[in-house]
Structure 1
């Protein structure tokens, strides 16, 4: 019998191709439906605000309550270029201060003010939305990164709310195996220490959700 290979504590897992990465966001229908229809974010989408993208289907399910939380009823799968995704990672800093990783709080605050992107590692979730022992990436985009995400990096937007609701329904019926068969294949993203070295405080405790 094969023994499951444990996940690294900090690892980017995503549905990705040679050119794109799929990330998830949830919005009100007034934003999400036009975005999916037109394949781009509408004018009402605020390009000057921080926006968080999530490569994990199940972490998105946890965050939006399977698309049932108010203001998050429309769940989008956004395909962005790998070049854009990696640009954001290279220009990101950690969203929280870690003693022993940052020289001091003042240095971390300066990084936070000057970085157009930030990274947070939150516990990954299972089909019942229970926390797992390893972490899932959240990538926050602001300023230049937010504008590039909306206007340059995004190559496709799909409304995946029906899929979220179907998976949720199967889980509620006790059919977790059937639900698991519907999940997107999220493979480790090829990110070495050159890309993630500044974004993983190894041996430290990162905050939960």
Structure 2
């Protein structure tokens, strides 16, 4: 049974895949270099998402302006876990923070922001659980780019194929999707990130 808050991802012992949507200019440069380079911005927050379905829903299946290319970015798990350890939720959840003031103080100085968004089904319906996205500020983006990234894959053709199937038939999309499973976190991180155990 899926918990209300849990991290679901395609991962192995050393790496985890996160997804991002960009313009062709940013995507082509990143694919060639196998890391993010100009015109990617190092001065603004970049969000990484381990849920494939949530990302393709958010990008309208790669059809939103500036989000037409879907990238699978495989990063080191120690980098991902560092981001989680530095993260502060984007809302002052009472289960986590003693007061709104405490949350504001932590949030304003945090190099990483953590947000939970409604997860999506293969056909875009809202599900009764949430998917995590992790915002990396300019204070940690260089480390993400230079030290965490293992490889970058262009998933745009896959997304286009899935969108055609989704629109044209009742055939299940599940067998075409990445093998996401629950990502383990410690009890301490669970409390901090709202993850139920």
Same fold (TM over 0.5): yes
- Quick one: which of 150, 157, 161 aligns to 1:155? 150
Q: Within 2, Cα distance between the matches of 1:155 and 1:201?
A: 27
- Quick one: which of 62, 82, 101 aligns to 2:57? 62
Q: How many residues are treated as equivalent by the alignment?
A: 196
Gaps in structure 1 of 5+ consecutive residues:
1-5, 203-209
**1:176 alignment partner, SS class:** coil
Instruction: Report Cα offsets for 1:150-208 as digits up to 9, x if no partner.
Output: 1110110011001111111111112331x221100001111122223211176xxxxxx
Q: Within 1, Cα distance between the matches of 2:84 and 2:66?
A: 27
- C-alpha contact (below 8 Å) 1:86/1:195 kept by paired residues: no
Gaps in structure 2 of 5+ consecutive residues:
none
Q: Within 1, Cα distance between the matches of 2:104 and 2:195?
A: 16
- C-alpha contact (below 8 Å) 2:96/2:192 kept by paired residues: no
Q: Within 1, Cα distance between the matches of 2:170 and 2:157?
A: 17
Q: Within 2, Cα distance between the matches of 1:139 and 1:65?
A: 20
Shift of 1:42: 1.3
Aligned to 2:43: 48
- C-alpha contact (below 8 Å) 2:26/2:38 kept by paired residues: no
What's the TM-score, normalizing by structure 2? Answer: 0.94
- C-alpha contact (below 8 Å) 2:71/2:153 kept by paired residues: yes
1:192–1:46 CA distance, 2 compared to 1 (3 A): same
Q: Compute the RMSD of aligned alpha carbons.
A: 1.4
Q: Does 1:140 align with 2:135?
A: yes
- C-alpha contact (below 8 Å) 1:98/1:201 kept by paired residues: no
- C-alpha contact (below 8 Å) 2:21/2:68 kept by paired residues: yes
**2:88 alignment partner, SS class:** strand
Shift of 1:66: 0.5
Aligned to 2:80: 85
Instruction: Report Cα offsets for 1:64-116 as digits up to 9, x if no partner.
Output: 00000111011100000000000000010101122454222221111111111
When structure 1 is superposed on structure 2, of 53-62 and 110-119 the one drifting more is 110-119
What's the TM-score, normalizing by structure 1? Answer: 0.89
Q: Within 1, Cα distance between the matches of 2:179 and 2:106?
A: 34
Structure 1 stretches (4+) deviating beyond 3 angstroms?
none
Aligned to 2:115: 120
- C-alpha contact (below 8 Å) 1:40/1:150 kept by paired residues: yes
- Quick one: which of 75, 88, 95 aligns to 2:90? 95
1:15–1:100 CA distance, 2 compared to 1 (3 A): closer
